[in-house]
Amino acid sequence: MSDEQPPSGTPHRRRPRYSGKYPRRFADKYKELDPEKYPETVARVIASGKTPAGSHLPIMVQEILETLSPRPGDTVVDCTLGYGGHAREILTRIRPGGRLIGLDVDPVEQPRTETRLRDLGFGPETFVVRRSNFAGLSKALAAEGLSGVDCLLADLGLSSMQIDTPNRGFSMKAPGPLDMRMNPQKGQPASVVLERMSPDALARILDENADEPRAALLAQKLAGRKIGLTTELANAIRLALPNTSEEEREKSVRRVFQALRIEVNEEFVALDMLLRCLPECLNSGGRAAILAFHSGEDRRVKKAFQAAQREGRLSEIAEDVIRPTPEECRANPRATSAKLRWARR
């Protein structure tokens, strides 16, 4: 191969080397991590029913748009900006004259999403970003001089970027630090929380946060242990359940990870705060949509909406949960557990 430099003067760089036809490690998936440069690779990954590394496929987009019905001039708050997939679709529908306030607590992904949406032409007069989780909704709206909005969206799921990036510590698919913080600059990582937790406290968390049927047994085996890696925790859970099937062990692994993540990020505390203030954060006739991904979240949303309707704070709520279509679940398996509920003031 020639060592000559390209006309630009930039030295030639060999592509990363990895074993096999396709890269397996997250850091090696350079084409997926640069979707603008390699759209064909990204399209192939999506067509195979997978999410490209470093990106996120927004879930139930059409159902959310139908529920919220954003119109030109509307003021919208996206309480969980994430990769910006939902926000992008909403922003195209509220111009001219509309404004979207995007909240996100993740200091790693938020700047990337803001840059991505700015590059699509959404300036500060249309799109505002604030570093906050949805517990700070009222404060964020007040900072923008708003008493209410026309549309409110909260997608309570993790983003694929968080799940797939090993050093964030959310998944057991690859070794990574047992962290799980959505904001790595605050709070304690899951490893510290687990080491300092008593068996009784862990059993309660596994039950309340993930409906884990073997909460007491797992708590006795895991609480107080010093576990530094995601894969180490996953293996410890499997070893604690020798008399169960492989399928049941893997379900318990996922539930323990979920329960710890919720505890580390105080997700239920934040969700309860959002639900308490939500009706008053909507303008008259304003619409809200909340996308939940497990029973603990969905129960809270359902009961809060029902209570607010009884109190006259909401005029109309969804009678039944809305689920993703089979076609979407086949194309994006991460949509399978999604549950959408809506409310109107």
How would you classify residue 9: left for phi > 0, otherwise alpha for psi between -120 and 50, otherwise beta? left
- Quick one: tokens of 129? 């970003």
Over its C-alpha atoms, the chain yields an Rg (Å, rounded) of 22
Beta bridge partner(s), residue 329: none
Residues 6 or more apart in contact with residue 161 via CB below 8 angstroms: 54, 55, 56, 82, 83, 109
- Quick one: tokens of 18? 């990895």
pLDDT, position 285: 97
Q: Per-residue pLDDT for 4 more than 50?
A: no
Answer for the pair 64, 153: CB distance below 8 angstroms, yes or no.
yes
What backbone phi and psi angles, to 5 degrees, belong to 34? Answer: -130, 70
SS3 state of residue 127: strand
Q: What is the pLDDT averaged over residues 155-172?
A: 84
The model's pLDDT over 316-342, given as tens digits with 9 standing for 90+, comes to 999 999 999 999 999 888 899 999 999
Q: Per-residue pLDDT for 215 more than 50?
A: yes
The model's pLDDT over 129-156, given as tens digits with 9 standing for 90+, comes to 999 888 899 999 999 999 999 999 999 9
CA–CA separation, 205 vs 138, rounded Å? 28
The model's pLDDT over 267-322, given as tens digits with 9 standing for 90+, comes to 999 999 999 999 999 999 999 999 999 989 999 999 999 999 999 999 999 999 99
Q: Per-residue pLDDT for 55 more than 90?
A: no
The model's pLDDT over 176-202, given as tens digits with 9 standing for 90+, comes to 999 999 999 999 999 999 999 999 999
The upper half-sphere exposure of residue 242, i.e. CA atoms within 13 Å in the direction of its Cβ, equals 2
CA–CA separation, 163 vs 264, rounded Å? 15
The model's pLDDT over 97-119, given as tens digits with 9 standing for 90+, comes to 999 999 999 988 899 999 999 99
User: What domains does the chain contain, in order, with CATH numbers?
Assistant: 61-160+268-344 (3.40.50.150), 169-265 (1.10.150.170)
Q: b vs e for 172-186, b when ≥16 Cβ sit within 10 Å of the residue's Cβ?
A: bebebbbbbbbebee
**Model-level pTM?**
0.81
CA–CA separation, 263 vs 181, rounded Å? 10
